[in-house]
Structure formats: structure tokens, C-alpha cells
Amino acid sequence: MKRLYVIVFVAIAAAVGLGLGIAKHPGYVLIDYPHVFRYESGLWSTLAALVALVVLVFVLWLLLSLVLVSAGVVNPWSGRNRERRVQVAIEQGQLDLAEGRWAAAQRNLHRAAEGERQPLLYYLGAARAANELGRHEDSDNLLERALERQPQAELAVALTHAQLQNDRGDVEGARTTLETMRERHPGNVQVLRQLQRLHQQRGDWTAVIHLLPELRKSKAVTAAELTDLEHRAWGQNLTLVSSREEGEAALHALKRAWEQLSAGQRQEPALVLAYAEQLRQLGAQADAEAVLRGALKRDYDSHLARLYGLVVGSDPAKQLQTAEGWLKQHADDSSLLLTLGRLSLQNSLWGKARDYLENSLRLQRNPEACAELARLLARLGETDRSNHLFQEGLGLLDERLLALPLPESSRA
């Protein structure tokens, strides 16, 4: 409070001093432009007029600014409102797209794209929404518009177009789009990955095989994924090759496809398994036995050992002897014991077959071993044990099936 009194006192003293100064020295100002303008007044009154003029100009400027700002807020066509509408459209459109409201997403994202200087993502989102609605022409038009506005984004637009074509069932159109981008942008990881998935979807394993070198060079997939893809592609290709022909022609085609593999690939267990299985299905049992025997001699594999028991070689006794040689180092392999049981059955060695199958089941309860032993016991007159094993085998198979409802058992 004391400070306020001091300020008021100082202000009054200053005013009094200024008043006395003005009275004692009023000053004089004369501005004369002959025959046009003449201004004559005291110095202090002139200064006061100038200060008043400055204050008036400032107030007018402030009022004008407030009017313009108010007009910008109220006027729906102002730049400020346009930016606000675009921002609202962006936020709402992205939310609509994420939550699957396709019509609203298309409308809002299209509006956002038209109002933005970098509209690519909004056009792509609107195109996707239109595609989900089945408005394929609208979707394509939105992508064309995106390309017009941002021609440097050709690859991004094309990748989206290919995905949308695939989603709508136009697989051939998607393939054409991706192949075009593959030529214009060689080695692009996204193009190669989409092509790989598309060829797999179409079951075109020959095309996948042709793509493998580019996938490896561009590192579009990891080393482990590439290895798995190679095995699957070549394995599926062996199956397809043999299915396109019949009889001897199919067998020759299969062997030609096998010879096209590299030496390293012909030693891969997964590919050997696929090749031997196709030989077996085409009736070339002896060839399948020789291929499996050679592969197992190089590098033992449980899956190959299991298939070895399903082929019938030219000399069943020698085949059993060969498999028994592997038992020394792989006595705990239930698949090998199953194979030995089957080969013993081929050689009519019932007791030995029973022992091998029993040992296989001790290591692992397997439906195949249950079925083989049940068949043998049924012929040996052990009906109760045979039926029990058949039921157990069916139970083990049920674990791999869907637990679908079944009718209640009928009662007599």
C-alpha cells in the first residue's frame, strides 16, 4: 500500500513539474507551405496531438486485426477453416479406416488428400476403403489421382494397386503389375516379396524357383526363410512335374527335374524325401529304395528312415539287413523301429516284426505303429489286443482332428 502512495505521489509531482515547465516554456511550432498549408501552434500541444494520433492509429490497427481474425474464424472458406477441415478429415478418415467404416473412410480420406500438399497416404487409404466396398473403378481412379499428384511415388502406388488387385481376386492383374515394377525397379525388396507370396498363392512353384536368385541377392528374406522356401519350392515342383504326365512320361519328367537340382540340393533330406515319395507313388519302388538308402548312408534322417519302410526294394531281405545296420547308432528312433517292423513284415518274420513294433510304441505312441501291430496281432489270433491297439491308434489320430460334435452312441 505504501508503494502505491509513493507511485501516486511521484506521478502527481511529475505532472505538476511538467505543467510548470509547459507554462514557463510553451514553445512554438510553425509549419508553412506557401499558398497550400499553414500550421501554427505551441510545442507541447503539437507533441500531445502527435501522441494522440499514434494512439489512434494503433487502436484502429488493433480493431482491424480483430475484425479480420473474426472473419477468418466465421468464414467457412477462409484458409484457417480449410486447414481445420482437412485436419478433421485426416483424423476421422484414419479412424474410420482402422475400424472398418469403409464408406466414411473413403469420403474423409479423399477430402483430406485433396486438401493436403503430400496426399499419397490419404489417397492410398481411400483406395483401399473403396476396394473393400467393391468400388474397384473408384479405387483405381484414386490411385491414378495419387500418381498425378505425386508421380515420384510410382512404386508405392503400384505396390498398393497389386495388393488391392489380389484382394479383389484379380491375381493375374496383380502379377502383371508386380512384374512391371520388377522390370522398372530391379532388386526392390517389397516387389520381390509380394511376387513370392503371389506365386505361392497361385501354386506356381516354377516361378518361385526362378525368383530364388533375386530373393537371395537382394536379401528380401532371411537365410533361414530362403532355405525353407527353396526346399518347399523344389519339393512342390517335383510333385507338380510328375502330376502333369502319366506313366513312363511322368517318371522321366520327375527324373529330369531331379537332375536339374544342384549336387548340394540333391543331398537335402527334405528334397530327397519329396523325390523318393514321388518315385514310390509312380511305382518306381526300387529307384525310391536306392535313393533313400544312398541318402541315409550319407546322413541319417528320421523322416527318410520312416519312408524307407514304405518302399519295396528289389531285395527285401537285404533291405531289412541295411536298416538293421542303422539301429546300432539310432536305437532310440521310433521311426526306424517302425520301419524295421514293416520290413520284417515284408520278409514274413512275424516275431521280429512284433518285437520291433512293440519297441517303437514303447518309445512313442504312434498311430501308424499301433495300426501295423494291430494288423499283425489280428492275424496271430490276439483279437482283444488288436482291437485295443486299433482304438488307441484312432484316439491318437483324433488328437490331430477338430473336436467336432458327434452323435450319441445308439443303444440296443
Q: Which of 58, 74, 90 is the last residue of a domain?
A: 74
Boundary of a domain, candidates 59, 74, 89: 74
- Asked if residue 25 is part of any domain, the answer here is yes
Structural domain boundaries enclosing 362 = 318-399
Which CATH number characterizes residue 361's domain? 1.25.40.10
Please state the domain count of the chain. 2
- In the chain, pLDDT over 70 holds for what percent of residues? 84
**Residues shown for the chain:** 412
Q: Single out the residue of 127, 121, 119, 94 nearest to residue 108, CA to CA.
A: 94
C-alpha radius of gyration, the chain, whole number:
44
CB 369 within 8 Å of CB 334:
yes
144 belongs to a structural domain: no
Residue 376 located in a structural domain: yes
pLDDT at position 77 is 47
CB burial of 275-285 (b: ≥16 within 10 Å; e: otherwise) equals bbbbbbebebb
Q: What is the pLDDT of residue 7?
A: 78
Nearest to 271 by CA among 254, 283, 246: 254
Q: How far apart are CA 304 and CA 76, in angstroms?
A: 76
pTM of the model: 0.59
Q: Backbone dihedral region of 42: left (phi > 0), alpha (psi from -120 to 50 degrees) or beta?
A: beta
* Alpha carbons 172 and 65: distance in angstroms, whole number: 61
Domain boundary (74, 89, 117) is at: 74
- pLDDT recorded at residue 132: 93
Residue 351 in any domain: the answer is: yes
Instruction: Provide the b/e sequence for 103-127 (b: ≥16 CB within 10 Å).
Output: ebbbbbbbbbbebbeebbbbbbbbb
Q: Is residue 264 part of a domain?
A: no
Q: Positive or negative, the Cα torsion across 246, 249, 252, 257?
A: negative
Residue 19 placed within a domain: yes
Comparing CA positions, the residue from 321, 379, 323, 332 lying closest to residue 354 is 379
Within a domain: 148: no
Does residue 330 fall inside a structural domain? yes
Alpha helices, H only, 2-78: 2-24, 43-74
With vertex at residue 127, the alpha carbon angle to CA 121 and CA 132, rounded to the nearest 5 degrees, is 130
Q: What is the model's pLDDT at position 412? A: 41
Residue with cell 518347399: 232
End-to-end CA distance of the chain: 110
Q: What is the pLDDT of residue 59?
A: 84
Query: In the chain, which stretches have pLDDT less than 50?
Result: 73-74, 77-78, 402, 410-412
Query: Cβ contacts of residue 409 below 8 Å, gap of 6+?
Result: none
3-state secondary structure of 397: helix
| One-character DSSP codes across 105-126 | HHHHHHHHHHH-SS-HHHHHHH
| One-letter identity of residue 170 | D
